[in-house]
Amino acid sequence: MTKPSPILSLRDIRKSYGSIEVLHGVDLDIFPGEVVALLGENGAGKSTLSNVISGTVSPTSGEMKWLGAAYAPATPREAMDAGVGMIHQELKLLPQLSIAENVFVGRYLMSGGRIDRKAMEEKAQSGLKRLGLDIPPSRIVDGLSTANQQLIEIAKALTLNARLLILDEPTAALGGEETQLLFRQIERLKSEGVGIIYISHRLEEIRQIADRIVVMRDGAKVQEFDSGDVPVRTIVEAMVGRSLERMFPTIPTPSDEVMLEVTNLSSPDNTFRNISFSVKTGEVFGIAGLMGAGRTELVRALTGADPISQGSVKLNGKEITPRSPREAIRHGIVLVPEDRKLQGVVLDHTIADNIGYANLDELTNSGWITNRKLSAFADAFIRKFGVKGHGAQNAGELSGGNQQKVVLAKWLARKPRVVVLDEPTRGIDVGARSSIYELIMDLARDGVAVVVVSSDLEEVLGVSNRIMVMAQGNQAGILDRNDANDVSVMELATL
Amino acid sequence: MTTETRGRTHNGGFQILGSMKGATGPLIGLIVLCLFLTFWTDTFFSVRNFLNILDQITVLGIMAVGMTFVILIGGIDLAVGSVMALTMMVMGYLHVEAGLAMGIAIPAALVVAALNGLVAGVLITRFNVPAFIATLAMMSIARGLASMITNGQQIIGFPAWFNLSAIIRYGGFLTMTVALMFGVFLIAILYQRYRYGGRALYAIGGNPEVARLAGINVTLMTIMVYVVCSVLAGLSGIVLGARLDSVQPSSGVGYELDAIAAVVIGGTSLSGGTGGIGGTIIGVLIIGVLRNGLNLLSVSPFMQQVIIGLVIVLAVTAETFRKRK
């Protein structure tokens, strides 16, 4: 049998942001009627690549062909018109509008100057039928199950005559049965000759649905399998690979004394369940897992930023389960949050003010505070942590690494007992990272219990004494530094 | 961008004057306005007229201080005009109808004002009602209650000292009401610059999540800000009562907008986190001087409204352009 010509072919696609290249010459062909699984760790370049295909991002160089003709969509709309349907992980439906209106939003069918609801509903209905969905198109979207909303997104793409669908983590929010429903519809679309790019972190389901597997790492295509039935271990090895050696500091040996003990912690909205672990004085405890595994939610709950539905947190053997950041801070548990710009610093306030906000109680003398005292206090920590800036400068003018140092400085001034860092080096360039790692090790040496959450596998492996792996809100396992490697962690994370 | 143009600086020395620093633009505007009026009218530049202006801005000045705190944390309080009327009516009722001494009637009326702020604050923080809506509701409720007390009638019959406190100039220049306004200004500036809470307001306005994660009790602070704003609205009502020697439920209609205008002209950002009392005082003075000057120039009251609107636009766009640079 001769292979049909591809719907879409990519040749040497490159994308740079400034001087940093994030896609290094990717080649990819998608044929009609096949499901290509696009796999890779967080930051491997999957999203950038799918954004290039769907017209959200323009490639810096390279060539794309759509049905044999040159293809260079400048906007998502152009890609859509060509026949690319991108279904995002976060659904983008308007909940208070009807299904039909959602399908045709922005391109309402008109007849004689009026919106032709009837035609819209008929067309939407046929799209829904094609997916085997028996819902009246006049129903509003609000209240439909996530799986059905997902299918409506697909129906929307189909009514626009999509020949290629990109599904980004379509099963992330789906249960087992809903996943099977989705897979049946995908099979149906395949038989109609639609090409599908399927992005997922759930390796088990890849075997079930994919015809081919493309693995990306660090912005390049590293391996391609001509069948979906590849052992998970092989895929994981391809995903993590071996990249450049990075410099991590020597890790101090923790004491035997347990500082923090978490027992059966669960969140009210079920983002994590029954998590138990303990961290010793002077230990760096890493938490690994894929996006949506519940890591951030767990550490936010641990530091009082989010509610806890059950379980307990003990500090030095004393139960302290915090209900607000204020309480956690009073006990010496502090959080360096994931999103520095939204949760860590006030960008248009000065560095001195930012450092001061977490230390107002220390700085005040029966409630009184002076600028002189504040700047002296801030200056001491600016020097101590080598922040490249002065106290009266706005935090927004600093680089990411220096902003992170400001966040650390504001907490370390309080001499905390437990420091929780969520993605401590996200968005910080490689050079500045090692100084953050040094700070973390200094903390451990000073007898602080440190918890580090990171999506950067190498980072967790490099800085932690022990690593807890989370998968879909569950504790998948705790590995000792000596047993942990990228493959063992990824295996647990994709459980 | 130099250090001087930033919100607050950390130099020593004249720190109270430093409160004005975020408001350099409005301050220049005020000076230009005064110079202009000095040349164009014979009567503007006189001690007597300045004292008049001070008398005229007491009500707005006290109210705008509370509004500054609310806007500083990124909120808004539309109820101040109504709370002012309610406070006046409660005071009038307790003294004239119920026969209580003013020394009891005034604090009791202020407690009623505080309750208004408490309800608004709880609605905003506990029930996540947007500040605009919560205070819009309180505006209507307080106004209705104020009118119900006397069925819309005014109350007269206050003791002589009450009205005289707004008339007699102690030491030749300071009425009690003006002194009260200065007192409020001074306490507010000290609070904003030297107290834990004052600093926390900037953190909350800058980013409530950062503030919360930094261990600041955002909920309590927010409620307290609305309580203080309402109490200051009530206090300004008592001052207005003293000035008029009577109270009526229709007082203070639209005052919330004057207060917001003064705060905004003074350079406090409606999105919160920048600005402060220093700027608001200048904002209040600009509005006061403008009204006074336009009266001296015999500009019609209708035209005055147009001009004040233009000044708001000018102040805010000037600020936007300055920031963009």
Q: Which tens digits make up the pLDDT trace of B161-173?
A: 999 999 999 888 8
CB contact under 8 A, B210 and A348: no
* Phi, psi (rounded to 5 degrees) for B74: 85, 15
Does B3 touch chain A if contact means CB atoms closer than 8 Å? yes
**Residue B273 is nearest to which of A325, A329, A346, comparing CB atoms?**
A346
A312: left (phi over 0), alpha (psi -120 to 50) or beta: beta
**Segment A265-286 mean pLDDT:** 93
**Segment A320-327 mean pLDDT:** 92
**Which chain B residue shows the shortest CA-CA distance from A305?**
B213
CATH no., domain B46-324: 1.10.3470
Q: Quick one: pLDDT at residue A157?
A: 83
Q: How far apart are CA A341 and CA A357, in angstroms?
A: 15
Would you give the DSSP letter of residue B97? Answer: I
Q: How distant is the Cα of B69 from the closest Cα of chain A, in angstroms?
A: 17
Taking 70 as the threshold, does the pLDDT of residue A33 lie above it? yes
Taking 90 as the threshold, does the pLDDT of residue A319 lie above it? yes
Confidence tier at A394 by pLDDT (50, 70, 90):
confident
Hey, which bits of B215-324 come out as E strands? 246-247
The answer for residues whose C-beta is within 8 angstroms of residue B271's C-beta and 6 or more apart is: B74, B205
Q: How far apart are CA A436 and CA A385, in angstroms?
A: 10
CATH no., domain A258-493: 3.40.50.300
Quick check: helix, strand or coil at residue B261? Answer: helix
Does B201 touch chain A if contact means CB atoms closer than 8 Å? no
Taking 70 as the threshold, does the pLDDT of residue B17 lie above it? no
CB contact under 8 A, A348 and B274: yes
Q: Where are the domains of chain A?
A: 8-240, 258-493
**Residue B195 is nearest to which of A358, A368, A375, comparing CB atoms?**
A368
Regarding an ipTM greater than 0.90, the answer is no
Does B73 touch chain A if contact means CB atoms closer than 8 Å? no
Taking 70 as the threshold, does the pLDDT of residue A199 lie above it? yes
Residue of B10, B190, B217 to mutate when probing chain A, most A C-beta within 10 A: B10
Hey, which bits of B2-75 come out as E strands? none
Q: How far apart are CA A392 and CA B138, in angstroms?
A: 40
CB contact under 8 A, A348 and B194: no
User: Mean pLDDT over all residues of chain A?
Assistant: 86
Q: Cβ distance A200 to A173 under 8 Å?
A: no
CB contact under 8 A, A392 and B206: no
Per-residue pLDDT of B226-244, as tens digits, reads: 999 999 999 999 999 999 9
Distances (CA, A) of B92 to A118, A247, B106, B236, B254: 65, 76, 9, 14, 21
Q: Residue A214 pairs with which residues in a beta bridge?
A: A38, A224
Q: Quick one: pLDDT at residue A429?
A: 66
**Segment A113-134 mean pLDDT:** 84
**Segment A73-79 mean pLDDT:** 88
Residue of B11, B199, B210, B217 to mutate when probing chain A, most A C-beta within 10 A: B210
Q: Residue B156 pairs with which residues in a beta bridge?
A: B246
Asked if A8-240 and A258-493 have one fold, the answer is yes
**C-alpha count within 13 angstroms, C-beta hemisphere, residue A165:** 30
Exposure letters A437-453 (e unless 16+ CB within 10 A, then b): bebbbebbeebbbbbbb
CB-defined contacts A:B, below 8 A: 99
**Residue A367 is nearest to which of B3, B195, B203, comparing CB atoms?**
B195
For chain A, list residues whose CB is within 8 angstroms of any CB belonging to chain B: 303, 305, 324-326, 329-330, 335, 337, 342-346, 348-350, 352-353, 356-358, 360-361, 364, 367-372, 374-375, 391-392, 394, 410
Quick check: helix, strand or coil at residue A431? Answer: helix
Q: Which two tokens stand for residue A156?
A: 């929307």
Spell out which residues of chain A touch residue B200, defining contact as CB-CB under 8 Å.
357, 360
Q: Cβ distance A461 to A485 under 8 Å?
A: yes
SS3 percent helix, strand, coil of chain B, rounded to 5, is: 75, 0, 25
Ranges A168-177, B47-56, B183-192: which has the least confidence: A168-177
Confidence tier at A32 by pLDDT (50, 70, 90):
very high
Confidence tier at A385 by pLDDT (50, 70, 90):
confident
Q: What is the end-to-end Cα distance of chain B in Å, rounded?
A: 8
Q: How far apart are CA A235 and CA A86, in angstroms?
A: 25
Q: Quick one: pLDDT at residue B11?
A: 39
The answer regarding whether domain A8-240 maps to CATH 3.40.50.300 reads yes
Q: Quick one: pLDDT at residue A170?
A: 82
Q: How far apart are CA B83 and CA B59, in angstroms?
A: 13
**Residue B10 is nearest to which of A364, A371, A410, comparing CB atoms?**
A371
When comparing pLDDT for B42 and B184, which is higher?
A: B184
Per-residue pLDDT of B84-105, as tens digits, reads: 999 999 999 999 999 999 999 9
Taking 90 as the threshold, does the pLDDT of residue A123 lie above it? no
CB contact under 8 A, A369 and B195: yes
Per-residue pLDDT of A426-462, as tens digits, reads: 777 666 778 889 889 999 999 999 999 988 888 899 8
**Segment B13-30 mean pLDDT:** 64
Q: How distant is the Cα of B324 from the closest Cα of chain A, in angstroms?
A: 13
Q: How distant is the Cα of A62 from the closest Cα of chain B, in angstroms?
A: 38
Q: How far apart are CA B191 and CA B196, in angstroms?
A: 8
Does B239 touch chain A if contact means CB atoms closer than 8 Å? no
Q: Residue A468 pairs with which residues in a beta bridge?
A: A287, A478
Quick check: helix, strand or coil at residue A11? Answer: strand
Distances (CA, A) of B158 to A183, A367, B106, B148, B241: 81, 39, 12, 20, 9
Spell out which residues of chain B touch residue A325, defining contact as CB-CB under 8 Å.
212-215
The answer for residues whose C-beta is within 8 angstroms of residue A323's C-beta and 6 or more apart is: A304, A307, A308
Q: How distant is the Cα of A50 from the closest Cα of chain B, in angstroms?
A: 33
Taking 60 as the threshold, does the pLDDT of residue B53 lie above it? yes
Which residue's structure tokens are 């905003």? B124
Residue of A329, A334, A340, A349 to mutate when probing chain B, most B C-beta within 10 A: A349
Does B323 touch chain A if contact means CB atoms closer than 8 Å? no
Spell out which residues of chain B touch residue A356, defining contact as CB-CB under 8 Å.
199
Taking 70 as the threshold, does the pLDDT of residue B43 lie above it? yes
Confidence tier at B260 by pLDDT (50, 70, 90):
very high
CB contact under 8 A, B202 and A353: yes
CB contact under 8 A, A357 and B214: yes
DSSP string, A477-489: EEEETTT--HHHH
Q: Cβ distance A386 to A361 under 8 Å?
A: no
User: Pick from A18, A15, A27: which is nearest to A52 by CA?
Assistant: A15
Taking 50 as the threshold, does the pLDDT of residue A163 lie above it? yes
Spell out which residues of chain A touch residue B213, defining contact as CB-CB under 8 Å.
303, 305, 325, 335, 337, 343-344
pTM value is: 0.75
Residue B118: what residue type? L
**Segment A184-213 mean pLDDT:** 88
